[in-house]
Amino acid sequence: MKEIKFRAWNKKEKCLFQVTGMNFESNGSIYSVSPDQGGSWYLVGDEVELMQYTGLKDKNDKEIYENDIVRDEYGSKYEVFYKEELGSYALIDKNGLVEKPIKTFKYDCEYEPPKKLTIIRNTFENKKLLNK
């Protein structure tokens, strides 16, 4: 079973934190989140951007989240995002042109994990990394 985890980017303080609690609206949308270090709750959208764990790890065993910038074995950089049409997380290059599923079919409907990806940072820390 996939582990469901979130982290959030605090827009004002420009820092990343693991999410340990969530409050929901009556329609099911997430209203606010609580950081792992405790303290104040933050409003989703206004104060923080949420990023969901993909359920995958990079070659250094680091968890891959939405909005992470990763490098493949050839040195190409991509941003991780959720692609509804694929029903999967995917990678997109700096031009927004290359999209490919982050997992590839191996055989018999089993997935081969992205063992050769390396996380560089997340998009909010430095979007310009995609261009370098």
122 is a domain residue = yes
What does the pLDDT read at residue 99? 65
Block means of pLDDT (10 residues each) for the chain, 132 residues, are 85 89 88 82 85 90 92 87 83 76 53 70 73 64
Cα 12 from Cα 25, distance rounded (Å) = 23
Instruction: Give the predicted TM-score (pTM) of the model.
Output: 0.80
93 is a domain residue = yes
What does the pLDDT read at residue 5? 93
CATH number at residue 20: 2.30.30.290
26 is a domain residue = yes
Residue 104: give the domain boundaries. 6-131
1 is a domain residue = no
Strand, coil or helix: 19 = strand
Cβ neighbors of 94 (< 8 A, separation 6 or more) are: 77, 130, 131
What does the pLDDT read at residue 97? 67
Specify whether the CB–CB gap between 106 and 112 falls below 8 A.
yes
Beta strands at 6-10 and 15-24: parallel, antiparallel or unpaired: antiparallel
What does the pLDDT read at residue 108? 45
Domain count along the chain: 1
